[in-house]
């Protein structure tokens, strides 16, 4: 698989970790840092260390989990960079899932007004979505990614071998973003996914999903227009994810599980607003429900969900902004929905 060219950087696939070693030797950074969490330190760092055994680096470790993607942990990263003597010719290698690549990218993009960083995503979710496109961010007060920057990495290195370290639930979570890419951009991809499922993913499917994300980002790097379609399912999905994080202490929803709920609700809104046919709605809902178990949304949670949605960074003039489907493989953006319509979409999900 040939490298994918993005905005001033390259996404590597074939022999990607060897490409990382080459990148570092050619770039001649003054200092190299690797950011890991306690999971990737055990399962992924030894693989990277074997490739980079001739490269000196300092290790920075954070605690895994969306609940730790906040300013306090960023301050910890900045302090470690200071303690290790990082200068503006340093590079931060973010080795982990979406939480780590989002937060590591943000920490690097703001430290000393910006140092270089590269992404080495280790989960399916981070490979097909979070590590590509130059969005960095942290959460605040249960609002996802409300603080962040648009800063492109210097390179992305995709090693699908890391996926063998994940359990089925994590794979299923990342699979949701691939479904989204089919729904908003590529109907043929969506058809393939219906028969494959997350258990039979291939490198070709992962590659195609990243291609889609990259094509959209190149067309609209700063999310002024087309890039907004990548938010399909995320307005309601992010609210459900944030709510679950604070209310389902034993087992909160993973990102992909939450946005799968968002897909169903926002597909219903697409139908309700006369953008999306009833047959396409049925096909979409059946495909998602085949993969993702039902989550028991309670009606009393609706006001809290709406409050989270009202803080969404995509909103405009106090209106809650959605990207909605016109057909499978095609999506529009800047579609505004009323509170009543949003509650109706949540009722629709609960009725299934």
Q: What is d(CA 87, CA 129) in angstroms, rounded to the nearest whole number?
A: 29
Tell me the percentage of the chain whose pLDDT exceeds 90.
96
Strand partners, 120: 95
Nearest one of 89, 114, 283, 83 to 182, comparing CA atoms? 283
Q: From its phi and psi, is residue 275 left (phi > 0), alpha (psi between -120 and 50) or beta? A: alpha
Give me the pLDDT at residue 313, please.
84
Q: What is d(CA 297, CA 308) in angstroms, rounded to the nearest whole number?
A: 15
Are residues 349 and 268 in contact, defined by beta-carbon separation less than 8 angstroms? yes
Give me the pLDDT at residue 142, please.
82
Task: List residues with catalytic annotation.
Answer: 113, 135, 177, 213, 223, 227, 231, 234, 238, 255
- 112-to-79, 82, 152 alpha-carbon distances in Å: 12, 10, 16
Q: What is d(CA 261, CA 285) in angstroms, rounded to the nearest whole number?
A: 10
Q: What is d(CA 244, CA 258) in angstroms, rounded to the nearest whole number?
A: 9
Give me the pLDDT at residue 8, please.
94
For residue 316, name the pLDDT band (cuts at 50, 70, 90).
confident
Q: What is d(CA 150, CA 83) in angstroms, rounded to the nearest whole number?
A: 26
Whole-structure pTM value: 0.95
For residue 132, name the pLDDT band (cuts at 50, 70, 90).
very high
Q: What is d(CA 6, CA 84) in angstroms, rounded to the nearest whole number?
A: 31
Give per-residue pLDDT as tens, 143-176.
899 999 999 999 999 999 999 999 999 999 999 9
Give me the pLDDT at residue 249, please.
86
Up-side HSE of residue 352: CA atoms within 13 Å toward CB? 22
| Strands, E assignment, the chain | 4-5, 10-12, 31-37, 58-62, 90-96, 116-121, 135-140, 143-150, 155-157, 320-327, 330-337
Q: What is the mean pLDDT of the chain?
A: 97
Helix axes 255-272, 168-185, angle to 10 degrees: 30
């Amino acid at each position: 698989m040939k490298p994918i060219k993005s905005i001033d950087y390259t996404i590597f696939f074939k022999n990607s970790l060897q490409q990382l070693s080459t990148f570092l030797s050619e770039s001649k950074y003054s200092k190299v840092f690797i950011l890991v969490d306690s999971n990737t330190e055990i399962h992924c760092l030894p693989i990277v260390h074997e490739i980079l055994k001739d490269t000196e680096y300092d290790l920075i470790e954070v605690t895994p989990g969306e609940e730790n993607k906040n300013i306090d942990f960023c301050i910890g990263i900045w302090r470690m960079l200071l303690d290790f003597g990082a200068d503006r010719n340093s590079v931060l290698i973010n080795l982990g899932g979406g939480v780590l690549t989002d937060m590591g990218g943000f920490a690097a993009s703001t430290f000393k007004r910006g140092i270089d960083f590269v992404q080495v995503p280790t989960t399916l979710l981070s490979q097909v979505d979070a590590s590509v496109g130059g969005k960095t961010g942290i959460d605040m007060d249960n609002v996802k990614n409300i603080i962040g920057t648009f800063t492109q990495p210097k390179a992305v290195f995709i090693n699908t071998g890391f996926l063998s370290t994940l359990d089925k639930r994590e794979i299923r979570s990342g699979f949701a973003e691939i479904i989204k890419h089919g729904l908003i951009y590529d109907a043929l991809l969506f058809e393939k996914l219906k028969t494959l499922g997350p258990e039979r993913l291939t490198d070709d499917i992962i590659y195609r999903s990243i291609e889609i994300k990259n094509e959209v980002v190149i067309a609209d790097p700063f999310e002024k227009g087309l890039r907004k379609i990548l938010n399909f399912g995320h307005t309601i999905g992010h609210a459900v994810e944030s709510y679950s994080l604070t209310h389902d202490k034993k087992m909160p929803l993973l990102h992909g599980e939450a946005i799968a709920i968002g897909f169903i609700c926002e597909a219903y809104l697409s139908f309700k607003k006369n953008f999306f046919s009833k047959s396409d709605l049925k096909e979409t809902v059946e495909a998602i429900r085949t993969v993702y178990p039902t989550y028991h949304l309670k009606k009393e949670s609706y006001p809290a969900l709406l409050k989270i949605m009202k803080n969404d960074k995509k909103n405009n003039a106090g209106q809650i902004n959605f990207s909605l489907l016109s057909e499978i493989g095609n999506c529009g953006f800047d579609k505004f929905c009323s509170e009543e319509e949003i509650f109706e979409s949540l009722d629709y999900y609960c009725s299934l």
